[in-house]
Amino acid sequence: MAEQQIGYSKKVMEHFMNPHNVGVIENADGYGKVGNPVCGDIMEIFITVKDDRIEDIRFRTFGCGSAIATSSMVTDMAKGKTLDEAMAITRDDVATELEGLPPRKMHCSNLAADALHEAIRDYRSRQGE
């Protein structure tokens, strides 16, 4: 039987206490916003794109520690990647990179990946793709 994670990993705590890529990009090339009405978490991701790569990425998150940690992690994972590579980042990828999340907090990793994908879709729609 698989062991169920109860607390937070060191990596989650590091990204919560010292999140990376926090902030807003004015006049971003792409913007994604997602939320979960059940828990109240809201995530915004801003991207700038150059030569089909995410050149810069920032986030603003209102929510729990897991929401902040997953936002920080997904921005680290996506920065420098092509748009297609970033679109391939899954909800599970985010949780795995954070060395797991407690089951009741898994929805937070879902929001982070979803916000990234929304920002990329927004960029592509602005480009007429």
Choose among 56, 55, 49: nearest CA to 22: 56
Q: Are strands 42-50 and 30-35 parallel, antiparallel or unpaired?
A: antiparallel
Query: Mind telling me the catalytic residues?
Result: 39, 108
